[in-house]
Amino acid sequence: MKIVNHRLFNDDDTPIRYRESPNRGGKMANIRYLVMHYTAGPSAEHSVNWLVNSSAKASAHLVIGRDGTITQLVPFDTVSWHAGQSEWQGVVGLNNSSIGIELDNAGSLEKAGNGWRAWFGTVYPPDQVIEAVHKNETYMRAWHLYTPEQLYVALEVSALLVNTYKLLDVLGHDDIAPGRKADPGPAFPMETFRSRLFGRYEDKPDANLYETTANLNIRVGPGTAFQALAISPLPRGTRLQATGQENGIWKEVDVVAEVKGVSGARGWVHRGYVRPVG
């Protein structure tokens, strides 16, 4: 992908889908940050249709679907209304200094029989859900997982934005509006995402040492179809030693510390929810 006149294009010069939102401001004088959101809606198209409606009084620069499809709503040099009342390191009102990306994701969920229900009624199966404590909360909740395709595309376009606009950091809506907003939530692997964008975790002798970024199930095999070990979920911050075996998005690890009275456990974890220790 590439950016031409603040619009997103494919490498073959065909434009990424663009639907103009009226919910915008003027030109940004100083673009500093990238802010990640979840839509909390039933589909990417539903969210796009809402964000291009003037009644929404909200927008974003991009919406990324669960299949990785991108829709741009506002040029990157123009204020979109994605941050609302917000502050970060003395900067107030981040609409004026940030690019906003919405990821199609239902957000927090409630238990419903054998599945988990979103506020709009859709029930999701357990393999699309993670139970975790939000960094701004103290209690466990269920959260809709992002898809590998979605995270891959989000990382690709974010790297392009960081390099093009010399952005300083990637933040969550829950960073700039804590207590008011919970997105992108603990299902989004923010620390891993940030480290890949900015290279903040460099290769070191202990490069195979990781820690969990959320309360995380550890499984007997590489996938949600495999049974979770009895010590699951591993508490956030649990140290793990990678064995070197990987299978797609899954990483085999040894649990370094004793968890729930068990020492030396080995299993598989989703690599999107662990980060290098360093």
156 is catalytic: no
Catalytic residue among 20, 45, 87, 102: 102
Rg (CA), the chain: 19
Neighbours of 175 (CB within 10 A): 21
Q: Which residues are catalytic?
A: 102
